[in-house]
Structures are given as C-alpha cells and as structure tokens.
Amino acid sequence: MPVELLLPRGSVLGWQPTEPFRPARGIVSGHAQTIFAHFARSARAPACTRERWDTPDGDFIDVDILAAPPGAPRVLILHGLEGSSRSGYVASVLRLCRARGWGAVALNLRSCSGEPNRLPAAYHAGDTRDVTFALAELQRRGEGPLLAVGFSLGASMLLTHLGDTRERSPLVAAAVVSAPFDLAAGVSAVDTGRGPTALYRRRFLRRLRKKGLAKARTHPGLLDRRRVRKARSLLEFDEAVTARLFDFTGAADYYARCSAVAALPNVRRPTLLLSAADDPLVPGRTVPVTVARANPYLELLLTDHGGHVGFVGGTMLRPRYWAEQQVVSFFAHALAASVGAAALLDVAAAAPG
C-alpha cells in the first residue's frame, strides 16, 4: 500500500492527497529517502528579508520573511534539530508559497541562524516560546490568515503549541512532517542504530557538543564541560545539557514531559500529521494511529515509504518532494473551508430574526 489516509469519524476537513506517494526508483528504503533528500533537495529559496525579533525573555530569534500582498496567507515554517531557514525542506515550502502568492516566515530556532543566542538555553522539542511569540508578532502586524508547518523537532514544537493553546491558537490550520511523537523511543532508535543511523547520530552530536561547549565557556559553572565533551549519544547530551539548561530532572523527565503524543487529544485546529512507516529516526510503531483517529481535527497521512523528511518521488534526475506539496494542498483546502464557513456565518447573521 503506497499511502494510507487515516481519518477520524467526523473529520473536520475530509481532505484527500493530490496523489499517492510513490518513491523514486532506486530510492525506496527509509535510509535512501532520508539521505537522498538531505543532499539533493535544493536549498534555493525565493528572496527573503531577514529580521531579528527580540523576545520577551531578553533573547532573539532571526526570521527570514517572504513578502506577500496584504491579506494573503502567511505560513510559519519550523525546521528540525540543528537545521535552519536554509534547510532544503524549508526552501521547498518557500518556493511553493511564492507560487501561490502566499507569504511565509522561516523561523530560525535560537542558535541556528549562524549566531549564538544570548541566553544559556536555546531550544528543545517541547519548547513553544518562540512559536507562540512569532505567531503573536504576525498577528500584531495584521497579516493574513496564519498557517504553520513543522519538520521533525519543529513538528514536535508545533504540536505542543497546538495542544497548549487549543481553541486560542491563531492558526487556521497546521501540518507536521516526520514528527517524533515519542521522544524516548526516537532517541533510543538514533542512539542504538547502526550503519547510516550511526552517521546521523555522529552528525547531530558533533554540532550539539560544539554548541554545548560554547555555552559552557560563555556561562562558566553552568555545565560540566567534561560530560558535554564525552557525550556519545543523544541521551547523554540531553542529560548533560538539555535537562540542565531547562530545569528537567534528567533526560527521562524531559522526554516524558515533552513528547508530542500527549498534545494530540487537545488540538483544535485542522492539522495534518504526515509520517512514514520506514522512518529511521521515528520508529513506525510510535506513530499514534489510535490517538490521532480519535480527534476529528487530526488527519494522519501514513506512508509505507518516505524515510525521515524525505518523501522523494519522481526520478533521481528529476526528484519531486511529495510531502511539501501535500502540506500546501492541505493548507489550501483548509483556507477554502475557513472562507466558506465565514461566509455561512455572515449569511446567518444577516438573515432576518
């Protein structure tokens, strides 16, 4: 089965994919999809304007803004662990937004824009401060309808935000791609995996340790530099750095309190959950099918293949990135439904009593 759309009863949108996902020939396995997409996906993005927004806690975030006419939809884009606004999947969404005449804001998580953030702590998978702040800033500016998409760790942040805000969320709709619903299981998969998974682990840890050691130098006494330097797994890094900087009792406490699966029952905005069963970083068994189907605001799109933020269709010479196309299609459907609902309310309000 190439794709399965698992809809709850009474789904608020009833959206359907534009086409089933068929992996490009020769790029079928989860690792092949993940690696090919990472290296081959174009990072060429439309012209954007970078702005620095000072946050209420004395830090800052750097955002890249794709301009659009007043009133046009705006899409907030959240990247994954140690990604940035220059990640290929972010550029892909920016190109699709431009093609539709939409605006977009690609948010660089703290420390990911090329410049260290000011405060000791940067971000973690359940940290919603900057998502909430960015959406509030867009509301303050009077932008058009707001949408948001998160990839990997950014997907976890977005789901947590949706669960926390419920009916108060300013979003018309949201989408998440390759979300790590169970942090402990995802970390375990990365930490114990061999072959390509070991390469992912070393790549993540090389960047994370470098940032952790930099924080130890700029904030003496806060972190144990020896523990940071010796971390050879994500679990050890989270014990030495994430838990310390964000006041968790340890990595297990962090994973238990911040896994996005807990947010799913509380989501009150149409949200697309797009995952692959062969994701090498997010075990397919952790995709919460039953929980997702119990909430009419969630539409779970689960594919047999696709890897982690891969979903490479087309051919090797002319790849097509299916996930981003489905996200934008979902958003267009949600916007149309929102406009239709508003029109019905206007008609009802104008009708004689």
Active site residue 278: no
Active site residue 219: no
Give the model's pLDDT for residue 344: 33
Residue of 279, 305, 329, 333 marked active site: 279
Q: How many residues can be counted in the chain?
A: 353
Of 217, 236, 258, 249, nearest to 123 (Cα)?
258
Give the model's pLDDT for residue 7: 65
Q: How far apart are CA 227 and CA 219, in angstroms?
A: 15
Give the model's pLDDT for residue 347: 34
Instruction: Select from 3.40.50.300, 3.40.50.1110, 3.40.50.1820, 3.40.50.150 the CATH code of 3-182+259-340.
Output: 3.40.50.1820
Which two three-digit tokens encode residue 306?
Answer: 């696709």
Is the separation of the CB atoms in 87 and 114 below 8 Å? no
Active site residue 279: yes
Of 257, 136, 163, 302, nearest to 311 (Cα)?
302
Give the model's pLDDT for residue 6: 72
- Work out the number of other CB atoms within 10 angstroms of the CB of residue 142: 8
- pTM for the model stands at 0.94
Provide the residue ranges of all domains of the chain, joining segments of one domain with +.
3-182+259-340, 184-258
Q: Give pLDDT < 70 ranges for the chain.
A: 1-5, 7-10, 340-353
Give the model's pLDDT for residue 216: 95
Residue of 92, 111, 152, 156 marked active site: 152
